Amino acid sequence: MKTRLLLYLAHAIDHLALLIFATAVSAIAIDFGVARWEDLMPYAAGAFFMFGVASLPAGRYGDLWGRRAMMLVFFYGMGASLMLVALTQTPLQMGIALTLMGAFSAIYHPVGIPMLLQDAKKAGSVIGVNGLAGNLGVAFAALLTGFLVKYLGWRAAFVIPGVLCILLGIYFGLVVPKELGSPAKRSQKRALTIDRKMAIRVFAVLTVTTTMSGIVFNFTTNGNGELLRERLSAVAADPALLGALLAGVYVIASLAQVIVGRLIDRFPIKYVFLPIVFLQAISFAAAIYATNWWFYVALIACMTFVFGAIPFTDAIIARFVDDSMRSRVAGVRLAVSFGFSSLAVWALGPFVKTSGFATLIMLMTAIAVVTTLAVCFLPNRDPQPV
């Protein structure tokens, strides 16, 4: 139970750390003498690029070396790199430090999630709760960063989570038992067998859907703070209130993952995934020109379906891939999808600067439609372990 709780906390910290910059970007821009926050956003792209690309070696070492050892690297590496970010003095230094942090943040998804699932009887429920933890991290990134920026400055918003990471790493090393062997070498009691054509088809759908979902996730979570500042003018001048309202959106939306996780345990993945991404497209379309508190309601709906789509990636891997190679498969998938979707972070500032947020939301609507079409190609039934 302690191991599972620590892995949930690791997921929360992983997402929190990646989004501190997006919440504090206006304050950092002022401190660094950058005229507009949009001009600073491309410096965060390296973190999200490494979040994808570094998943490949992380997944490999997770299966072949050991998941416990890799999680220790995650905790200590994240802690040190977060504190390094707080020491930066220029945009270039910030970009380098964030890229290093992104490399360590890449460890969790291909390593921590398979570690959670290796003994889980109901994978969907575990994935749902873990997703809730991750998105509460997104919420706390908005809430905690907003308050720290207002009262202690933006550097404290990186230092405090960094110290917490190191303390959790020490505790993880003390309470989590050492592995008897790497996942790749352990004998498996439950093997999954699917034919080659289905495996290729599922991996293709998985790659398309996670890439599209990754683009939407990066656009929304990195842009929502400034979007809310633009559409809800009443809170524009107060970073703490803005952070609290944004955290409220994420907390409400995160509950969708618990519900989706339970549905995944009862029904084939395709028939749960399809309505979620379809409603995601509808909610984005409704938010394009909404303003003031109507926009806040629309944003809650959008993020509910964005977060509701997140558990499917891990559920598909859990259903279609044997535990002995889950970290490697997850690493390959993350390297391809998040490596590409990191372009969204790089493009966010320049895109909004030239085209505006309404055009960005139209683009996300189109991406959600593409995702919906891709999900239609998933098998109607999930494979069963033998």
**What is the tens place of the pLDDT at every residue in 92-115?**
999 999 999 999 999 998 888 888
Q: Look at the chain and report how many structural domains it folds into.
A: 1
**Which residue segment(s) compose the domain that 233 sits in?**
2-176+195-375
Residue 249 lies in a domain: yes
Query: Looking at the domain assignment, is residue 381 inside a domain?
Result: no
Residue 241 corresponds to which tokens in the numbers above? Answer: 């209130």
Given this model, what pLDDT does residue 121 score?
72
- Start-to-end CA span in the chain (Å): 27
Question: Does 26 map to a domain?
Answer: yes
Q: Give a yes or no: residue 354 inside a domain.
A: yes
Within a domain: 189: no
pLDDT of residue 386: 42
Residue 113 lies in a domain: yes
- Decide if 355 is inside a domain: yes
Mean pLDDT on 135-147: 81
Q: Where are the alpha helices (DSSP H) in 232-291?
A: 239-266, 269-287
Mean pLDDT calculated for residue range 35-64: 83
Neighbouring C-alpha atoms within 13 Å toward the C-beta of 112: 30
Q: Tell me the three state secondary structure of residue 90.
A: coil
Residue 190 lies in a domain: no
pLDDT band at 75 (very low <50, low <70, confident <90, very high): very high
| Mean pLDDT to the nearest integer, 207-223 | 84
Q: Which of 65-69, 204-208, 233-237, 289-293 has the lowest mean pLDDT?
A: 233-237
Report whether pLDDT(71) > 50.
yes
Beta strand segments in the chain, E: none
More reliable by pLDDT, 181 or 174: 174
- Residue 60 corresponds to which tokens in the numbers above? 């490999």
State the CATH number of the domain containing residue 120: 1.20.1250.20
Q: Tell me the pLDDT tens digit for each residue of 233-279.
A: 766 667 778 778 888 888 888 888 888 888 888 888 889 899 999 99
DSSP for 24-84, please give it.
HHHHHHHHHT-S-HHHHGGGGHHHHHHHHHTHHHHHHHHHHT-HHHHHHHHHHHHHHHHHH
CB distance 218 to 48 below 8 Å: yes
pLDDT for 205: 86
